[in-house]
Structure 1
Amino acid sequence: MKLVPASAHDADALAATLRACNRAANRASEVAFAKDLKRRNVLQDEVYYALKADYDLGAQPAVRTIKKVCDAYAALKGNIKAGNLGRPGSKRRLRAESRPIAFREDAAQPYDDRILTWNLDAQTVSIWTVAGRLKGIPFVCSPQALKLLASRKGESDLVMRDGMFFLIATVDVPEPEPFEPDGFLGVDLGIVNIATTSDGDIMAGRRLNRYRERHRHLRAKLQAKRTKSAKRAVKRIRRREARHAAQTNHIIANKLVTTAERTSRGIALEDLGGIRQRVTARKDQRTRLHSWAFAQLGAFVEYKARRAGVPVVHVDPRNTSRQCSECRHTHRTNRVTQARFACRSCAVVLHADHNSSRNIAHRGEAVWQRGAVNRPRTA
């Protein structure tokens, strides 16, 4: 939800609150790192009164700030354990382990119901700040989001982006049980074509790739000028590309889930975890590879499918582009070009991405039949 402060005083108070809380979080993080105090209770005993006195925080904001620091270290520990920061001794992992976690001055700050009160009828909030409690701050959102706020639970995060303030709230949405699918809709994810389904529906990525290329050249042109107006322009457009890509992924994900739900099928996706480390791209293709938002599209498909009760499975992507979806013959020469597949065994000719998506659909059904995913009970 976007907050609409009524005056410059209210906006300044919200910004000052984020600065104070994040400076306090940096202080607590330094103590946690130096004394190895990563649990909330022990860290709170060490820094609670200092944060209240030095940064003008109330009791509950100080507690939320300390909890934020502990959650950040818990997330770091989880990433290290999962290998997301590289192997032991790697530069990235050493850099993360050798210094305390730092928080930006405008980083998100969590609020609980003691320091943030919602009035859904009036669409206002009462929020604690370092300048006192601000009451009747309006917020705007869609009618659907306002309806979902009735089931809000837990903390909400205050976020500042480009001078605007937002509240990110957590809501509980009923999740239906996944149905027993009548087959699977295979989805091949790619760069040239963002998504291709086993039905032959191709969502081309040419428009998005051209948009990204245009923004890349624009950023390079502005950065080369080194003027204040150019820097302001770079700052103004910095998130525009990400928003455009996210909107495109939302549209594609909605289409995939709607198609699967209408035809009573599940959705089969490739398991592309770690693909950026496995794939070696040419220098002129690296930017396109690393700006490929396949993980975001996969996440959008998964949560939209869960809300609709559509089963989703992930399959091994190996050789999906080289295997014939008709006779299962696999050979690297089957993939003639980026867009053309011609089987050397049965002579079937298909669009290469369509062939891959059909293989993904077959593998998804096999995974489901083996019971490798949670399945609904049938009578």
Structure 2
Amino acid sequence: MLNRHVIRGALALILLALAGLGAWLYSLPPAPALADMPQVAAGEIEAMLAALKPPRRKRPLVAVVGINDATETTDYLMPTGILRRAGVADVVSLSTGPGPVKLFPALTVQADATLARFDAQHPAGADYVIVPAMSRDDDPAVLAWLQEQSRKGATILGVCAGAKVVAATGLLDGKRATTHWYYLQDMLAKHPSIAYVADRRVVADRGVATSTGISASMPMMLILIEAMAGREKAEAVARDLGLASWDIRHASQAFRQTRAFTTTVLGNLLAFWNRERVGVDLQPGMDEVSLALAADAWSRTYRSRAVSFAEASPAVETRNKVRVIPDVASAGQPPAWHLAPFTDQRPAQALDQTLQAIAMRYGARTAHVVALQLEYPWGALP
């Protein structure tokens, strides 16, 4: 999704520059140092945790919803994997209809249930509904279902550009929110009553929470775990993820479309003869969060695309029972492919190491392009 929009935007910007109308692109102020991110008052965190307390069940029910044709990879798999490894809630992955969920930009999975089956099994609704970015913001089945879940008392969490889907339901009208930097202005233009909150990775307001870009679903889930089960549990899960600490601070101005971003994307697109398929070897019990981050990152370079493979099998079950359907059935690693490493690492390390590997293979600018799409504060953003 973001890739397609970036391509269109990059082509438009280069045409403007060639016409002598793109000088504004070169005069943007420098990004603030990530160390200078605004501090968060203790009262703000306490209010957020209170807002995210389980509304009904002692052991909450969490639904992660996706559409079958294109749902963002990390937005869908990271919340599912993190919440399941925490063991503090029942987590169900959903699809709008039968059949596999094609994730974007990489991987295909089998959801646990359809919306209709979930409704039949849980007529009182979920405690929380997590909404990833989707290829369309106006899927009628998703919008109607989210409105009904909210009416039944569920807290709705829009991850990344999933905030645009939540906004399309009307549930963000008159509320404070955020979203991925690339889609922010579009969301505000369509829903002007939304009050944008800068410099926060997560914002909660009256039954709805939203986050900034893709990587923000990790701190968002840790905050949700803390609201469900306390700080000690959240810290234990964070250590398991490879995080020493986390919070909701964010340097919003560090994430924007710059000259370096645009020219790198265009350069990689123009090198169309030099594309790689990055083989991701699916293994039973592998970490689905690390898998999602690595496959997502390798598929955002504009030089490569992650392709999953496994020995002939309808699906490979990950550590936390996510069923991943391989793109290719193979008895062994295809020798012509460059294997994406680090899918067996702790997620925080897997993302950093994947970005480092991308920098080694395609250059630091391409790695920064990936980090910017993931809205991940990796190194000094150009």
Is TM (by shorter chain) over 0.5?
no
**Higher RCO (CA < 8 A, seq sep 6+):** 2
User: What TM-score, normalized by structure 2, do the two folds share?
Assistant: 0.26
Q: Which has the higher helix share?
A: 1
Q: Say which one has the larger Rg.
A: 1
TM-score, structure 1 as length reference: 0.26
